Amino acid sequence: MSDLNAVSAVEAPGPAPTGPRHGGSPAKPRSLAGDAWLDLRSSKIFWVAVVLVAVILLMAVWPSLFTSADPRDCVLANKNAGAASGAPFGFDFQGCNVYAKTIYGARDSLIVGLFATLLAGVIGLLFGLTAGYYGGWLDAVLSRFIDVVLGVPFLLAAIVLANRFSTDPDATNIVPVILTLGLLGWTTSARVMRSAVISAKGQDYVAAARMLGASPSRQMFRHILPNSIGPFLVVLTILLGINIASESTLSYLGVGLKGDAISWGIAIAEAGPYIRTTAAPLIWPSVFLAVTVLAFIMLGDAIRDAFDPKLR
C-alpha cells in the first residue's frame, strides 16, 4: 500500500458536513486594511502620535495661535534673561524670545521634512517599481547603485551634498536642504517598494492582468502599486521624522538652514557656548525637536505594527 496516498486520504480536506468549522457566529471577513485600522484604533501609541502630529502641524501652519511674540524681534537688553510674561522659556544670548523661536521653528523644519520626504518617496517609488517589476539586469544595476549610495555614511554624504547645493550664502537654504535630504533618503523606500513589488508580481491577479495584455505601466499603477503601498507609506512616515532630525543636524553643523530661517538645529548650536549661563535656549528647542521626531516615528511604528502583527 502506498504511504503517500494514505497521507492524502486522511488529510484531504473535504467539504465539512456540518456548519462552520469555527463555530459561534461566523466572523465577517475583514480586509487587511480593515484589520489594521481596528488594531490602530485601539493602539495608545497611535493616538498619542496623532495628537502630537496635529499639534505640531498647527504650530507650523498657524504659529501666532501659540505666541504673539515675534521670534525675530530680539532685544539685546534681554540677553540670557529668565522667564517673563509672553516668554515662558526666557531669552537667549541675543535677547530673542526662546518660546517664540521654538514655536516658529516648527514651520521650516516641517517644510523641509515634508518636501524632502516627498522627493525621496517619488525617487524611491520609481526606483523600486522599476527594479522590482523588470527585474533581471536592470534590477541588478539599480540594486548595486543603492549599495553605492549606502556605501557613504548618510551625514557625510549630506554634508558634501548640502555644501554643493547651497550657492547663495545669505539665503535660508531651504531648497538645497530639501534636495540634499531627498536625494539621499530614498534608498530604504526603494528597497521596500522593490520587494513589495516582487512579491505582488507573483500574485495571481497580476499574472492575470498580464495575460489579459495590460501594459506594464497599467499593471504597475493599477494592480501592483495599490497592494504594495502600505509598507512604503510606513517607511515614508518614519523617514519624515528622520528628515526633520537630519535637517536640524545639518543646520546645527552650519550646512543646513541658514540666514533668516528659524530652525531648532540652529538654536541648539547657538545656545551651545552659553550652557553654563542658561540652559533653556538649548533645552527647549531640543525637547520640541525630539518630540516632533518621536511623533512621526511613533506614527510609523504604530501603523507598521497594525499591518504586520506577526511580531508583537
Partner 1 sequence: MNFDPNAPLLQVNDMHVEFRTRDGVARAVTGVNLILRPGETLAVLGESGCGKSVTAQAIMGILDTPPAHVTKGEVLYRGVDLLKLPEDERRQVRANRIAMIFQDALSALNPVYSVGYQIGELFRTHRGLSRQEAKRRAVDLLDQVRIPDAKNRVDDYPHQFSGGMRQRVMIAMALALDPDVLIADEPTTALDVTVQAQIMGLLAEVQRERNMGLVLITHDMGVVADVADTIAVMYAGKVVEYAPVYDIYAHPAHPYTKALLESIPRLDFKGRGLNVIRGLPPALTDVPRGCPFHPRCAYARDVCRQDPPPPAYQIAPRRIASCHFIREVLGV
Partner 2 sequence: MFRYIVRRLLQMVLTFFGATFLVYALMFANQDDPYQALVGERPLSESQRIALNAQYHLDDPFLVQYWHYVRGLLTGDLGTSLTQRRPISEMLAEAWPITIKLALLAVLIAAVIAVSAGVLSGIRRGGVFDNVTLVITLIVLAMPVVVLAPVAQVVFGVQLGWFPVTVTRDAGLWDLLLPALVLGTLVIATELRVTRSSVAENMRADYVRTARAKGLTNKRVIGAHVLRNSLIPVITLIGVDIGALMSGAIITEGVFNIPGVGFNLFRGIRAEDGPLVVGFVSVLVIVFLVINLIVDLLYAALDPRIRYE
Binding residues vs partner 2 (CB under 8 A): 45, 144-145, 147-149, 151-157, 159-161, 163-164, 169, 241, 245-246, 248-249, 252-255, 265, 268-269, 271-272, 275-276, 279, 282-283, 286-287, 289-290, 293-294, 297-298, 301, 311-312
Residue with smaller CB distance to partner 2, 197 or 257: 257
Residue 13 makes contact with partner 1 by CB under 8 A = yes
**Cβ closer to partner 2: 45 or 54?**
45
Cβ proximity to partner 2: between 230 and 241 the closer is 241
133 or 307, CB closer to partner 2?
307
Pairwise CA distance, residues 151 & 156, whole Å? 11
How far, in Å, CA of 72 to CA of 159, rounded? 27
Residue 2 interacts with partner 1 (CB under 8 A): yes or no: yes
* The one segment of 13-21, 127-135, 144-152, 167-175 that binds partner 1 by CB under 8 A: 13-21
User: Residue 107 is placed in which grid cell?
Assistant: 514651520
Residue 148 touches partner 1, criterion: CB under 8 A: no
- The SS3 of residue 155 is helix
- Can you tell me whether residue 261 is helix, strand or coil? coil
- Gap between the Cα atoms of 115 and 112, Å rounded: 5
Q: Dihedral of CA 200/202/203/209: which sign?
A: positive
Nearer to partner 2 (CB atom), residue 159 or residue 177 = 159
Q: Does 204 bind partner 1 (CB under 8 A)?
A: no
User: Pick from partner 2, partner 1, none: which does 274 bind, CB < 5 to 8 A by kind?
Assistant: none
# residues contacting partner 1 (CB under 8 A): 21
**Under 8 Å between Cβ of 176 and 160:** no
**Residue listed under C-alpha cell 550652557:** 275
Concatenated DSSP letters of 282-311: HHHHHHHHHHHHHHHHHHHHHHHHHH-TT-
| Per-residue interface string for the shown chain with partner 1, residues 20-49, x marking contact by CB under 8 A | -xxxx-------------------------
**Residue 308 exposed, middle or buried by CB count within 10 Å (0-12, 13-18, 19+):** middle
Which residues are paired to 91 by β-bridges?
97
| Under rule CB under 8 A, residue 4 binds partner 1 | yes
Residue (108 or 133) nearer to partner 2, CB = 108
Binding site for partner 1 (CB under 8 A): 1-7, 9-18, 21-24
